[in-house]
Amino acid sequence: MRDIPLAAVGLIKSFEGCRLSPYHDCVGFPTIGWGSLLSRQRYAELSKWPAISQQEADDILVMDIQRVCRSLARLISVPLTDGQYSALIDFVFNLGAGQFEISTLRKVINRGDYEDAPKQMMRWVYAGGRKLAGLVRRRDCECGLWCS
């Protein structure tokens, strides 16, 4: 498996932040650490998950990113620069491999249309039916990495 670029880790950390106690993300999914999903049950009772240490949060992040990288190895059939790879790691970490697998973005990339990828990324700025400024900023950063 390809090495994880530090740019991807930095981008994830900068947008997710780290919370050692469980919390609901912006659409209600139980989350912990550096944005690691605990359950797909929206607004699940948080008391069933204990707080974690900083080391545990960091370890979970590494495992989550490795899972994203395995998904990308399976889903992307064209070569990527480190910037493109970093952008996709953050994108898939944020959206999930399932959403990426069925996305037009994936199809565009796999047909080698690298120039259209940023436009496709910018379509993914909605959560819970609302356009979120944080997702716009995140997609802008991913597009910057993609084009670097």
Give catalytic residues, as residue numbers.
Answer: 16, 25
Q: Count CB-CB contacts under 10 A for residue 111.
A: 11
